Structure 1
Amino acid sequence: MTQLRVRDVTEADLAAILRIRARSFGPLGDGGERWWRRVADETLGGRMLAVVDADDTVLASGRARPFGQVWGGRHQPMGGVAGVYVDPAARGRGVASLLMRGLLARMAELGDGISCLFPTAPTLYRGVGFEFGGPLPRFTYAAHDLRALGSLSRGLRPRGAGPADAQLFAALMRADQQRNRLSGPRLVDEQEWRHELGDEDTIAYVLDGRDGGPTGFVTYTLSDETLRVDTFVADGRDAAAALWAVVGSGSSAAPTVHAFLDPRDPVALLAGAEARHDVEQQSWMARIVDLPKAVAGRGFSPSLAATAHLTVEDPDLPQNSGTWRLDVSGGSATATCVERPPTV
C-alpha cells in the first residue's frame, strides 16, 4: 500500500481505464464510445482520479460527477460517485478504499456538501462512511389504464419536445422538486437535458404553460413492447392526466409501462391507476462530505423548531469530526462545531 498513490487522471490514461472497465464489466455496448467521451470530458481536470503503483501503472479509477440534489425541497451540490473500476489483479489490496478516500477529499475541496452512489459493493462504501439513503422504486402499470386518464385531462394536448426545450425542462424540474419539498432526486441541468433530448432513443412530451396553463413533461423510451418512464413532472391533476395518457396511448404496441417514481411524489398518486404488485427498487447510498454545508443546504419543515447536539467521528474527512450543535427553525438549519476532538 505504501507504493500506491492517488492522482488525477489525464487524457493519456483513458485507454488503460477503459481496458480495466472491460475486464470488470464487459465491453462498451452500442453508443458506448460517445458515452465514454462525454463522461471523460465532464470529469477530466479534477473529478476523475486514479490509483497508480510505483511504476505509475493505473490500477483503479473513479469519478465524482458534478450533480445537484434536492433535500427537503432545496438544492445543493452533490458529488455523484460513478465509474469505480478496479483491475481484477489489484483487488483485495485496499486499492478501492484508497480511491474512495481520494474522491472524498477531492469532493470536499470542490465544495460538494454530500455524495451519493448506486452501490455494487455496499461493504466497501460503508467502510468509507456511506450508508443507504433511499430507494429508486420502479412501478409497473398497464398502459391501457394510463391511456384512460385522457378523460381527466380537460383537453390538454402535450407537444413533442426536443433539445430546444432543455432550459424549460431544467426549470420545471427544479420548480417541481421545490414545490413538493422532495428529498433524494437528482437535479438534471440544462446541458444534460439538451443531450438527453437530442438522443434519438428518448421520447419526450411537454406542457409548456402557455397562456398560464398547466405545466409538466415526461420522458420515456420504448423497447421490447415496454415503455420505460425515466422522468415525469406535472403541476397538477390535469397535466398529469394528459401526460399519462400520452404514455399509455400506444397500449396495443407497448402494453406495459415501467415508471421510476418516488412513491411520495404526487405524480405517482395522480396516475390514478394501481401499480402492479411487481414493484422493484434499486437502493442508493449517501454520505455527508461537508457537514455544515450539507445541513445548511437542505430544507426542513417550516413548523419544526429544535436544537440537538451530536458527536461525529469521521476519520476520512476529519474536518467533520467533533461535537456539533444543530439548530432548526423556519425551514432551515445550521450546524455549529462546539468542540473539536483532541489532537494526538
Structure 2
Amino acid sequence: MIVRPPRDADDEQIYEIARLAFGGPREPRPASLWSKQKGWHGLVAELDGRLVGVLKVREYAQFFGGAAVPMGGLASVAVAPAGRGRGVATALIDAVLPEMRDRGQAISALYPSVPALYRGRGWEQTGNYERVTLRPELFAMLPKPTERVVMRHATEADTAAIHECYLRFARTVDGTLDRSTAAFEPERMLELDIVEVATAEDGTVLGYLTGERPEGDTLVVHDLVADDRETALGLFANLGRWTGILTEVSLRINDPAWWQLLMTLPVVHDVRNHGWMLRVVDLPAAVGARGWPNAACLAPTSVDIEVVDEHAPWHAGRHRLTVDGGRVSCEPGGDGTVRLRARALGPWFAGSADTAMLRRGGLLDGDAAAARLLDQLTGAPRLPRMADSF
C-alpha cells in the first residue's frame, strides 16, 4: 500500500470513492473536486496502482478558553469497496497524525461515522452539534424586545462586521470554530436565502440571522447570533413572523444563552444531535495555545501526568502541568502521578469530562487528589458546542 498526498489528476477517483461511501450525484460539481477547494491538506492510499482510500484535513481553529487553537478537521475519510478490510483507513489516519503535528494542528476534531475506528486512534466523544425543530408560533409567543430591533438584509459590506459579531459570541463557547482560516469563504454566506442583520443606530451589527428556505414547509436556520437579550428577542420575533407561512423552523443550537435562558420550550420537542470527537495531537502545543481563564484564580501549583499514546509517540510519556501567574505550561518530566490514555486527552482538554468520569471510563488512573487540578483548570464537566459541520 502507498500512502501519499493527492494530485489534481486524482480528482475523479477521489470523488467516486467519496460518492460510494457517502452518496451524491454521479457527476460532480466542479466546486466539489478536491483540487478546486481551499484550506485543507489530505492523503490518498493506493493499491495495485489504483486509489482505494482518501482522507482530508480541513485547516481550522477551535475556541477553548477564549483562544483559537489550531485544529485539523478530519473529514471525507472513505475507502473504496474493494479496499475495505485491508487496513486502508487506519493506514491513512496513522500517516496523517504526524502530518497534523508538523503543520501545527495541536488538536483534531471529527464527526464520526465509525466511532470505533477513531477511538482506536485516540479520538473520543467530546461535544455536540444540535438542531431543534419547533413551530414558528413558539417564537411569536416569546417576550418582545423593549424597543423594536431594526433588521435589514446584509450586503457584501457587512461581511466583516458579521464575522466580528460571530467572534464575540464564539470566543465564549468552547468548541466553536473561529471561521478565520482559509477553509472558510465568508462571502459565500451571502448566497443563502436569508442573511439578516440587526443593527444599532450607528450601524453597528448587534446580531444576525442566516438560513435557507428549501421546498416544503420548513425554514432551516444556520446562525442566530446576538450580543444581548434584546437583540436575540428581536431575531426570535423575526422567526415568529413566519407563522402561517410554514409549519416548522429547524434551528441550529449554537448559543447556550438563548437556548437555555430565553427559549420557552414545549414539554416534548425534537433535538437531533450529531456528536463530534476530539483528539489532542500535540499536548504541549495544545496546552500552550489554549486559553485558561480559571488559572487566574489558582495559586502557583503543578500536577504530574503520564500520557499513554502509542499513535502519537512525540507526546507520550511524563509531563508536568504548571500553573503560575495565571499561565499554564506543559513541560517534560515529573513522576506521572496521574495517568491518561490518549482517548482521555480530548475530553479533558475540552472540559467535557471531569477526571472522575474519565476514571470510570477506564481512561485515567492515579492519584485522585492530584487529578482535581485538571478539573479546576477546565471547569469540567461542561458541554462544548460546534456550530459547523464538515
Q: TM-score, normalised by structure 2?
A: 0.77
Distance (Å, rounded) in 2 between the aligned partners of 1:166 and 1:38? 26
Q: 1:175 to 1:39 in 2, by over 3 A?
A: farther
1:23 aligned residue? 20
Distance (Å, rounded) in 1 between the aligned partners of 2:79 and 2:335? 36
The DSSP-based 3-state class of the residue aligned with 1:133 is strand
Which of 333, 336, 341 aligns to 1:338? It is: 333
Q: How does 1:29-44 map to 2 (within 5 A)?
A: 33-37=29-33, 40-42=36-38
Say if 2:238 is the partner of 1:243. Answer: no
The DSSP-based 3-state class of the residue aligned with 1:119 is coil
Distance (Å, rounded) in 1 between the aligned partners of 2:217 and 2:144? 24
Distance (Å, rounded) in 2 between the aligned partners of 1:39 and 1:206? 34
- Cα deviation, residue 231, structure 1: 1.5
Say if 2:220 is the partner of 1:228. Answer: yes
Give the unaligned 5+ runs of structure 1. Answer: none
Distance (Å, rounded) in 2 between the aligned partners of 1:208 and 1:149? 21
> CA offsets, 1:250-300, max 9 Å, x none?
1212231222214x6213235432155222211100001111121122223
The one-letter code matched in structure 2 to 1:122 is P
1:198 aligned residue? 190
2:45 aligned residue? 51
Q: 1:298 to 1:98 in 2, by over 3 A?
A: same
Q: 1:96 to 1:75 in 2, by over 3 A?
A: same
The DSSP-based 3-state class of the residue aligned with 2:236 is helix
Say if 2:169 is the partner of 1:169. Answer: no
Say if 2:2 is the partner of 1:5. Answer: yes
Distance (Å, rounded) in 2 between the aligned partners of 1:259 and 1:93? 41
Distance (Å, rounded) in 2 between the aligned partners of 1:155 and 1:87? 55
> CA offsets, 1:60-86, max 9 Å, x none?
111100111111222111110111111
2:272 aligned residue? 280
Tell which deviates more after alignment, 121-130 or 166-175. Answer: 166-175
Give the unaligned 5+ runs of structure 2. Answer: 337-390
The one-letter code matched in structure 1 to 2:59 is P
- Cα deviation, residue 321, structure 1: 0.7
> CA offsets, 1:36-70, max 9 Å, x none?
147742256xx0210112x4321111110011111
Distance (Å, rounded) in 1 between the aligned partners of 2:257 and 2:35? 32
Tell which deviates more after alignment, 281-290 or 305-314. Answer: 305-314
The DSSP-based 3-state class of the residue aligned with 1:166 is helix
Distance (Å, rounded) in 2 between the aligned partners of 1:112 and 1:193? 20
8 A contact 2:161–2:205 mirrored in 1: no
The one-letter code matched in structure 2 to 1:24 is A
> CA offsets, 1:292-321, max 9 Å, x none?
121122223243455222111222221111
Q: How does 1:113-128 map to 2 (within 5 A)?
A: 113-128=106-121
Distance (Å, rounded) in 1 between the aligned partners of 2:109 and 2:311? 16
Report the RMSD for the aligned CA atoms in angstroms: 2.6
1:269 aligned residue? 260
Say if 2:139 is the partner of 1:143. Answer: no
- Cα deviation, residue 28, structure 1: 3.2
Q: 1:210 to 1:13 in 2, by over 3 A?
A: farther
Say if 2:85 is the partner of 1:92. Answer: yes
> CA offsets, 1:101-152, max 9 Å, x none?
1221211111111100000000111111100111212223321221344722
Q: 1:39 to 1:242 in 2, by over 3 A?
A: farther
Distance (Å, rounded) in 1 between the aligned partners of 2:26 and 2:152? 32
- Cα deviation, residue 219, structure 1: 1.2
The DSSP-based 3-state class of the residue aligned with 2:221 is strand
Give identity over the alignment, percent.
Answer: 29
2:99 aligned residue? 106
8 A contact 1:24–1:86 mirrored in 2: yes
Tell which deviates more after alignment, 284-293 or 185-194. Answer: 185-194
Which of 309, 313, 326 aligns to 1:314? It is: 309
Distance (Å, rounded) in 2 between the aligned partners of 1:278 and 1:76? 32
Q: 1:39 to 1:186 in 2, by over 3 A?
A: farther
Distance (Å, rounded) in 2 between the aligned partners of 1:217 and 1:190? 21
Tell which deviates more after alignment, 33-42 or 225-234. Answer: 33-42
The one-letter code matched in structure 1 to 2:126 is G
- Cα deviation, residue 176, structure 1: 1.4
The DSSP-based 3-state class of the residue aligned with 2:29 is helix
Q: TM-score, normalised by structure 1?
A: 0.87
Q: 1:81 to 1:197 in 2, by over 3 A?
A: same
Tell which deviates more after alignment, 97-106 or 268-277. Answer: 268-277
Tell which deviates more after alignment, 21-30 or 228-237. Answer: 21-30
Distance (Å, rounded) in 1 between the aligned partners of 2:297 and 2:213? 44
